Chain A
Amino acid sequence: MPMNAADIEHLIKAALPDAAVTITDLAGDGDHYAAHVVSSAFAGKTRVAQHKLVFDALGGRMGGELHALALTTAAPKP
């Protein structure tokens, strides 16, 4: 069951309330998304740690329901 972009954004914002989330539906099929997430929670963390925060926010859906979520993360620019 594919997820819609708003659900993905809600899940991320529930865990990272300050996050600016930009989601692009890459294929227009509701199944292949790119998400760019900017949050102060990422400051000073490695990319692996940043991505893990997002995976945690998605509660185990990554790799399952969300096979194709291309993810980029960044801390806000000072």
Chain B
Amino acid sequence: MSEAVNGRLVSVKTKFHREAVRPGGINRSGANMSSARSVEALKAQVEDRLEASTEPLVALLRDWQAERAPQGCDWAGQVRDLAGLAGLHLLTEVAMHCFDCLDAVAIDGVVLKPTEAAVLADALAFARQDMCRGSDLEPYRSLLQDLTTLSNRVVARAEQDGVAR
């Protein structure tokens, strides 16, 4: 409430607002077509980079070393972002769970057991397959529910540790 008293509304009109509405721009369908071409041109690069991030991440999780969690986080973040561009939506989902778990290890210092890391590695290897392309995740609902349970359990350790301290 006090902020409402202490603040004020100001009208903002920047160069962007003036330029962007000038005639001669590109409409939505034109932008759609051009972005499809742009993403298509990146596809080969995306696949290569995806491989370069997924392989070491799977290797790390199979031979789990907690001190390398920050590096694993970076790989998981890359896989998450790249998989979406490659149309591998299951892999995006799995990478998000990996990221959440590794992030909790790297920042909160929680314990990720080797068996749990191996589960994440298996899920990544499965999701990386060509058969898992596309955005229909219904066939993988139970896998994703299990991963949600796992990542919630790992992340919850940070709160438990915090309470214990």
To the question of whether A and B form a pair in one complex, the answer is no
Residue ranges of A at the interface with B (Cβ–Cβ < 8 Å): none
Residue ranges of B at the interface with A (Cβ–Cβ < 8 Å): none
